[in-house]
Amino acid sequence: MHHLLSSVAVFQHKVCTITMTVYDSLSIVDQFEERTDNRTAVKRACDVMLRYLMELKRPLPDVAAQSVKIAREYCAGSRGIQSLHDEDKRISNFLRNASARSNGTVSVVRATGALVRLLQEPTWGGGASEALSNFLNWVDEFEQDHTMFKRLLEGAFPIPVPLVFFDVVDPRPSCKWTLTKYNDHEASLLPLELQDKFFIDRLTDGERSDVEAFKKLLVDLENEFEPI
């Protein structure tokens, strides 16, 4: 009996010390999709996929790097959807002729192919979280940075927080903040500079024009009102 109880205690300890994985964090995607819809959630998922691929430390293979470049330009509005159709065909041809490799090259190309297809038609029958899970499984064979992926998830799929947790410290709205409606479920209240989805990426990369624009914005915001 003593040995049996000891075994149960060890089992319970192991169960209690299981740590959550990044895949558990995908529950916030499901919650977001329940509040909005599949299409909106998949569009957000595409943003996460693109940013994750752009921030990987290991250089992408040429075919994947080209796909990421085209996806980024499409999202920025400088390319039309036909460029995604053409890229989809190019990726399909590559995968059809690719030999089995162990360094994750084929897997990361599959991941970029999934991104390109979802950008063309942002819907997924299994939900946006499943699309992200499949994507991450592929990229993990090439490079793994779950801390970064979780950060991107939390930025793209915010969790609603009751207003009771906040205090209004200054009720005066800034003239620098602009309300932009994206669809029936999404809107943003941000300075125009920050409504460019790649502004923060360029800022953190040290792009001179964006750094100067951000510095000016901070000065304008700080000087707009006298302290209360």
Domain residue ranges in the chain: 39-156, 166-224
Find the DSSP H helices in the chain.
Answer: 2-16, 27-35, 38-55, 62-75, 81-97, 105-120, 128-140, 146-156, 199-204, 208-224
134 or 10: which leads in pLDDT: 134
- State the average pLDDT over residues 162-177: 84
Question: How high is the pLDDT of residue 180?
Answer: 83
- State the average pLDDT over residues 204-227: 85
pLDDT tier, 228 (very low <50, low <70, confident <90, very high otherwise): low
The percentage of residues in the chain with a pLDDT greater than 70, rounded to a whole number, is 88
pTM reported for the whole predicted model: 0.73
Question: How high is the pLDDT of residue 16?
Answer: 41
156: pLDDT strictly greater than 60: yes
9: pLDDT strictly greater than 70: no
Whether residue 176 contacts residue 224, with contact meaning beta carbons closer than 8 Å, is answered with yes
